[in-house]
Every structure is written in structure tokens, then in C-alpha cells.
Amino acid sequence: MSGTGAEGPRVEDLVVKDVGNDVHLFVDPGTGRVVGTLYAEGGGWWCGRAPSGEVLRFQVPEDVAEPWRAAAERLRGA
């Protein structure tokens, strides 16, 4: 199965569900499981839960074209 394995799916393979208010769920399309969550706190700050369960807070530059994707990449690297 492409894009899956022991580490889970790649960020680019995840389905992103915008549930409103700058909250995003990252869903594994193969299982339907939520594997990460992100929400914008404002001012370029994001908070998220990585698939490992670790909770992270970090900043994404406000001039990034798709800040949610940059945040997802950062979260996936955790």
C-alpha cells in the first residue's frame, strides 16, 4: 500500500478536513483514522497533536502560501 507503513501515511497522502475556525483534522484515507490535528492560534502560531501523541506549538511564517500544509509538514516530522 503506497504511502503507508510502520510510520504511518505521508503528509501528502493525508486527507485534510477543515472543520472550521482554523481547525484541521488529518485523516488516513486508508483507515479513516484521525492521525493528527492542527489549529491556528493566530499570529502565525499553530498547535497540533502529532501521530505519536506529542503536542507541539510552533510558528509558521504568515507569508507562507498554505500555512496549514507547512504546519502539517512540521507536525509530521515530530
Query: Is residue 28 situated within a structural domain?
Result: yes
Query: Is residue 51 situated within a structural domain?
Result: yes
Query: Is residue 4 situated within a structural domain?
Result: no
pLDDT higher than 70, residue 75: yes
Give the chain's length: 78
Q: Output the DSSP codes for 12-52.
A: GGSEEEEEETTEEEEE-TTT--EEEEEEEEETTEEEEE-TT
Residue recorded with cell 510510520 = 7
Query: Is residue 5 situated within a structural domain?
Result: no
The residue segments making up the domain with residue 19 are: 11-76
> What is the structure's pLDDT at 1?
35
Q: Based on the structure, what is the number of domains in the chain?
A: 1
Task: Give the pLDDT band (50/70/90) at residue 11.
Answer: low
pLDDT higher than 50, residue 5: no
Greatest extent of the chain over all pairs of C-alpha atoms, in Å = 38
Query: Is residue 1 situated within a structural domain?
Result: no
Cα–Cα distance measured from residue 32 to residue 23, given in angstroms and rounded to the nearest whole number:
18
Average pLDDT value for residue range 34-61: 90
**Grid coordinates in use for 4?**
503507508
Q: Across all residues in the chain, what is the average pLDDT?
A: 82
